[in-house]
Amino acid sequence: MVRRVFALLLSVLAIAPSIDAQTRSGPDVSYDADAIYDPDEPVPYQPDEFSPWAYDLRRGEIIAIGAFPLAMIVTSLTYELGRFAYRSAAAGAVSGEYAPWFFSTSVEETFSNEERIGLVISSAVLSVGVGVADFFLGRREARREARRSEQKR
């Protein structure tokens, strides 16, 4: 179930920004009627070609994908430290077996497959959360800018 949801989320993030671009039926030659249309030459995008929600979705996608590596590092480090603290407290002494990678003396990987899947899912949730937070912060900034422009009138 989790794999299906994750695969669906990745598909939507990959496909959604290109939906408007695929509906384009041909070149818009209104800006230069004398130009000869070359099907191999890309046509520049017009400023109003994409709807605002498509720009917002694309920005969120870029931020979420860019934040994923950092979210993965933060999530795995937090999990390792938490697991180390919990296991050490449960054992009543420092448990070297669960020490984070920078304290560990062994070079073998200590995560199980379930832990790896959990880390990837929690990193994806964290990175999408960063993208959503950027969206709401951008909306707030746009509202402030609109209020400033109204006050200047």
Determine the pLDDT at residue 21.
47
The answer to whether residue 127 is domain-embedded is yes
The answer to whether residue 39 is domain-embedded is no
56 close to 135: Cβ distance less than 8 angstroms: yes
Determine the structural domain holding residue 96 and report its residue range: 57-153
132 close to 71: Cβ distance less than 8 angstroms: no
The answer to whether residue 31 is domain-embedded is no
The answer to whether residue 22 is domain-embedded is no
Each residue's pLDDT tens digit in the chain (153 positions)?
Answer: 666 666 666 666 666 655 544 444 444 545 555 556 677 788 788 878 888 888 888 899 999 999 999 999 999 889 888 887 887 787 777 766 666 766 666 656 677 889 889 999 999 999 999 999 999 998 899 889 989 988 887
Counting the structural domains of the chain, the total is: 1
Pairwise CA distance, residues 84 & 9, whole Å: 32
The answer to whether residue 7 is domain-embedded is no
